[in-house]
């Protein structure tokens, strides 16, 4: 008997179930990260808009997107994403608060 996913030889159904469960868990983790990446991409564009509201030359827009995207790339897989984004915004946000 062998696992249909990874072709590993298994001795009985219990071992097969254990192997399949492991694959399901891996897949769930992968999908969660993928969803987070999509979410962060959307956040990147929103943050970019927010950041360039007060300084809006094309160079700034491109530079800011790079900064924001770099920040968000670093956040993939982290748990406390919103706290890190808030911290980043405090450092990079416009000086004037209206």
Give the single-character DSSP code of 1: -
- To Zn ion, the closest distance from the beta carbon of 10 in angstroms equals 8
Torsional sign, CA 71, 41, 65, 73: positive
Cβ 52 vs Cβ 62: under 8 Å: no
Of 2, 5, 26, 78, the one binding Zn ion by CB under 5 A: 5
Distances in whole angstroms, Cα of residue 85 to Cα of each of 14, 49, 55, 72: 44, 14, 20, 8
**Beta carbon nearer to Zn ion, 4 or 58:** 4
Binding segment (CB under 5 A) for Zn ion, from list 8-16, 25-33, 41-49, 82-90? 8-16
Binding segment (CB under 5 A) for Zn ion, from list 5-13, 48-56, 66-74, 88-96? 5-13
Residues numbered 11 to 40 that lie near Zn ion (CB under 5 A) are 19
């Amino acid at each position: 008997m062998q696992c249909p996913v990874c072709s590993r030889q298994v001795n009985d159904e219990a071992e097969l179930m254990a192997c399949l469960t492991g694959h399901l868990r891996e897949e769930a983790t992968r999908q969660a990260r993928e969803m987070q990446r999509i979410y962060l991409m959307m956040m990147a564009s929103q943050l970019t808009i927010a950041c360039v509201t007060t300084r809006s030359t094309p160079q700034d827009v491109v530079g800011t997107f790079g900064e924001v995207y770099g920040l968000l790339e670093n956040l993939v897989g982290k748990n406390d994403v919103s706290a890190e984004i808030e911290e980043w915004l405090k450092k990079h946000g416009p000086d004037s608060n209206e």
